[in-house]
Amino acid sequence: LLSELHADGLAHNVVTLGAAITAAERGHHWELAIDVLRGASKDQILPNIVMYNATISASEKGRHWELATGLLAELPARALRPDALSFNATISACQKGRRPSHHK
């Protein structure tokens, strides 16, 4: 969808990219969430805390605690201040990442 918007000449912005990350997070597509977050700089968009939190939450749902903690660690370098959601999603990712998955 984002590539279609770009092909149609519509510029991405924080709102469209944030919505894409949130949709990826809700759909349990952590890979897509991280791709959108990392691709924001291509469009010269500075990710905000909402985009980071949604990506951390996607990492949590995917049981990727290493990714969640790495994203949390990036926030100060991006001049972003972690909030309760940042910490809670990272803690949850660490808890889930330690347990074996019982579903496929």
- Read off the pLDDT of residues 74-97 as tens digits, 9 standing for 90 and up: 999 999 999 999 999 999 999 987
Is a pLDDT exceeding 70 seen at residue 36?
yes
Give Cα separations from 15 to 19, 22, 65 (angstroms): 6, 10, 26
% of the chain surpassing 90 pLDDT: 60
pLDDT value at residue 101: 52
Q: Which is nearest to 38 in space by CA: 53, 52, 22, 24?
A: 52
Q: What is the pLDDT of residues 50-73, one digit of tens each?
A: 999 999 999 999 999 999 999 999
Q: Residue 3 — very low, low, confident or very high, per pLDDT cuts 50/70/90?
A: low
CB 24 within 8 A of CB 60: no
CB 64 within 8 A of CB 89: no
pLDDT value at residue 66: 94
Work out the mean pLDDT of the chain and round it to a whole number. Answer: 85
pLDDT value at residue 13: 82
